[in-house]
Structure 1
């Protein structure tokens, strides 16, 4: 019998085709699902800089209302660890897929409800209270989303393509920013001036209900992670994965969190709405129209997406650690150049400043899913990546717009903001240098002993 007719060969070929098809389905489900989640999350942040200060916190006065509005953005980050703890625990016990379905619905429902929420002028203090409560639901949902999406992408990936596969949930962030800024830009055209403040801002929030239905349908067709299936077959789900994580890998969680914090602080200059608020402030030095600023942010989201994909691809070739080191150097240049370019008084230069920033943002973000997945053992991996991500988001991004606004108010200059962002980048670089490269480490449950060896350079590699 020739190889062409060998049933074993045909079965293997069919299995390869089916595996490739499932991998493409996972990537599509991951990209679309995380894009929708971050669309919802960033829509609030952009609206905080443009709308919520006046409509929900207006009685506090012009400066205080903006700061409190940005604080409501950051407040949700304090609840992301709760989402990460719950999702990590359930994800390591019950699977990645179930958790992702719940977080998607939670995020979409809260976003849609914000779109119908009465303002302070209508119901008084109840309006900002309800707004903040819905933002907290977004925070819990976001805390559980990323870890599951990262593991689904990387644990399904071929060993030599984990970086590029893992960039799928990462590009959900710039895609979410692209969609959020794009929808707000469109609404400033359809409903300019007072109409935007009256009803135009609500339309992008209401659109979320349609996006969630699409995302739920796509994710429903994705198979569970093969690594979790292996754990489940061996009946070895951890009864208390979070306890094991902090007992054996607590220091690693802190260093992994610092890596993300360095990226997140710089990223939240746009995703947190600070640049939008600074550039459109009628009392500020620039006083640009909303439309052109939102268009510039939308354009920079495209370049962020591109460099995120490139970083994932590069990390498969030069290793996660080396690609991060390159990224920190590029991001340092970006944060130093940002405000001098933004303050030049030209929309074109503002856009250039954002583009330069996104080069480093992409190169310190595209490889994160693969990096985090390779850091933690399979049995506590969902908990490890989710909690590290959530803590990093608090340290880096949670109050970055609030800190930036407070520094601007205190000093009257953006130079202090540049120094703050530079310090955060340096922290990320130091944390990276203190971790060994784990590119290509086996991810299956059968390699748990190798995975449990500490990647920290100051800890012996044969012990945790």
Structure 2
């Protein structure tokens, strides 16, 4: 059974996942955009770029633990339902994210401060991995067919909106307390604000109903004993491997914006202050939200596969020019031009994410959808999540003469080009999913 029209239950499901995904991004963006401050607070003195890389590496370690959360909560979501799963994950994500505000500083606890920081990031990663396992299917299973592309872009856009909101909140705290005040104590307040979206998401989820598609799975006795394990068995194994390759490239797309645009803007030869860099980056994340919405909507008419392949080719061609434009504007201190290139990068890198909720939901049967969406999404992290190592390696050993001594603009552009190549090839070998039913029928026996 699939919904034929929007209801208030559909609206709650969409709001729930938008806020849940917003919270995920809100937390991650706080880490990346405030990395220079955190480096001073929880690490021993080092060069600014090396210290920032250490914070980004701990961020990668957080990302690497997401597949574990997807495995645990995806499997659970296919057995007990999407709604119960989502209540657990948003509680865990909100609490662990807010715990960052209670960390001791390096001056107070030495290297233990950084160790505790990493442990909190691991816990956040586990709950975040579970968040989209049940969350994306929940929203899509409540969405009428003709609205799937738009709602997919809207839900996925919650991630970009969360990034933008985090950058704005950080900018407000810098404006109130100054960079020195944020470094001394206000960074704790910044992370504590994560409690607010977590509380809203929890309130919405407590008022939600289970999806009609999952209720149909229960009614038809289709609940699997081992939904996660079934992903690796024929005939589903090939589907999973194609999704894994696709998501690997998609993570390169994502962090060409989220991890390295702030890094490019905040380090020499960029002449922007931390506050200016943060504002320019936030403009790019707003554009990313629009990109996801536009891409998701277009996919309902052009097709998920065709649109992604076309987009990948365009991205491969323009990657170096747009990052060159960004660093040139940063060196000149031209905020208007930097914002323009930040907008272009936001749209180009995040637009293709607009189909992820619906594309992955269409790739897996309802009885294994939470496992397939969650672990399929997270599987891209196995190779794609180590961007914090790839870019420094390219910077130090391949492109140092093309980058600048303390910047990584060219290496980041190459990361995006590699992502575009992987995404395009993976989609070429995958099917077109537009028109796929989300409800599952029992297999006929002869």
TM value normalised by structure 2: 0.91
Which segment drifts farther, 22-31 or 332-341?
A: 332-341
Q: Within 5 A, what are the aligned runs for 1:214-363?
A: 214-248=200-234, 249-272=236-259, 274-281=260-267, 284-344=268-328, 345=331, 346-363=334-351
Change (3 A) 1:149 1:327: farther
Q: Does 1:41 align with 2:28?
A: yes
Aligned-partner Cα distance in 2 for 1:367–1:270: 18
Aligned-partner Cα distance in 1 for 2:336–2:396: 26
Q: Does 1:170 align with 2:128?
A: no
* Residue matched to 1:462: none
The match for 2:412 among 413, 417, 431 is 417
The match for 1:443 among 413, 438, 443 is 438
3-state DSSP of counterpart to 1:343: helix
Change (3 A) 1:270 1:289: same
CA contact (8 A) 1:40 1:107 kept: no
Aligned-partner Cα distance in 1 for 2:90–2:315: 31
Change (3 A) 1:173 1:394: farther
Which structure's CA Rg is the greater one?
A: 1
* Residue matched to 2:17: 30
Aligned-partner Cα distance in 2 for 1:162–1:335: 29
Change (3 A) 1:276 1:92: same
CA contact (8 A) 2:256 2:412 kept: no
Which runs of 5 or more residues in structure 2 are unaligned?
404-408
Which segment drifts farther, 411-420 or 71-80?
A: 411-420
3-state DSSP of counterpart to 2:22: helix
Deviation at 1:149, TM superposition (A): 1.6
Q: What per-residue deviation string (whole Å, max 9, x for no partner) do you get for residues 188-225 of structure 1? A: 11111311211222222111122211110012112111
Aligned-partner Cα distance in 2 for 1:25–1:62: 44
Aligned-partner Cα distance in 2 for 1:447–1:363: 35
TM value normalised by structure 1: 0.87
Aligned-partner Cα distance in 2 for 1:65–1:362: 27
Which runs of 5 or more residues in structure 1 are unaligned?
1-14, 450-464
CA contact (8 A) 2:256 2:413 kept: no
Aligned-partner Cα distance in 1 for 2:443–2:139: 20
Aligned-partner Cα distance in 1 for 2:379–2:412: 22
CA contact (8 A) 2:256 2:415 kept: no
* Residue matched to 2:406: none
* Residue matched to 1:408: 395
